[in-house]
A and B are shown apart, each in its own frame.
Chain A
Amino acid sequence: MFVDWRGIGILVTTREFVDRAIGVAGEMLVTAGAFVLLFLGWHVWFNDLVQGAAQDKASASLSQQWQIATRGQIEFDRAIGSSDGAFVRPTPPVIPRVSDAEAFANLIIPRFGERYVRTIAETVDIATVLNNTATSVGHYPSSNLLGDIGNFAIAGHRTTYGAAFGWVDNLRVGDRIYVETEGGWYIYRFRNLEFVYPSEVAVLNPVPQSTVEAQERILTITTCHPKLSAAERFIAYSVFESFVPRENGTPIEVSAVVGRD
């Protein structure tokens, strides 16, 4: 028995026809498998690297722009947060709310690498802020303003899209976290972490997980946990220590970022 193969006059036996059909089906399955693996490689590795490099470059150039504008180029390594009033101010300026998706600060965390810098923009919108090639950290509009008494809460990816907080589990108690603005550096120190379910919005309260009145300035980082999952959230709390106005000089820990080419 013969079958007209693809209607173009090539006659094959039914057995051959079935063999070819199985062969084509097999090739399609292999192709589908390769497609899934390629997507995973792109999503977890390739796109992460491409986006991370773009964010890193954009953020570093923002830092340098601010630095050149104010000429605060003298480095100092005095103990930041000591009672050295000439260099630090206990009361920082409050940054007013900017428009949605607008970048207003840089985040510098030396524990993540001496050249680590990422840009913070307003709102935690995924498309316009968190998955962006220039910004990668978002400020919760419902949380307090930068510099204000209360909780300055930010979010960023743990994996993929540049993974702004990919190294968050490396933080050690007392690590300095710098939030840089045009006016200078807000210096926080890492205090503690906790793991919560995604619905626990009380971590954004002026005093996280509490309803008492705020008396200090907290920086709250939220990111996903475990890695590559959306099941829980990793929350890292830091406490405000001091503010260094840019014209007073550059903290030595951030000089690798603001002075880099």
Chain B
Amino acid sequence: MYSALWRVLPGPRWLKIIEAVGLGIVVLSVCAEWVFPWIAENFVQSESTVGQ
């Protein structure tokens, strides 16, 4: 999976490294901005109130 991704990235090795790091940052940002808040809201119990 990751070796296939590495092959698909264009350019020489140094450019591939930059591209891979860039992709990683994009994936992490998308997770932190949208995916993780959605999971936290829908699947994690964080009740601090008393009630029914």
Contacts and interface: CB of A to CB of B under 8 A. Distances in A.
B18 interface: no
A28 interface: yes
Interface of B: 1-2, 28, 31-32, 36-37, 39-41, 44-52
Nearest to A228: B46
Contacts, number: 72
Contacts of A42: 31-32, 36
Q: Is the interface of A mostly helix, strand, loop or mixed?
A: mixed
Contacts of B47: 126, 198, 224, 230
A189 interface: no
Give chain A's interface residue range (CB within 8 Å of chain B).
35 or more
Interface of A: 23-24, 27-28, 31, 35, 38-39, 42-43, 46-47, 124, 126-127, 130-131, 138, 140, 155-161, 165, 196, 198-201, 203-204, 222-224, 230, 233, 235
A43 B49 contact: no
B37 to A, nearest CB: 8
Contact of B36 (A24, A39, A140): A39
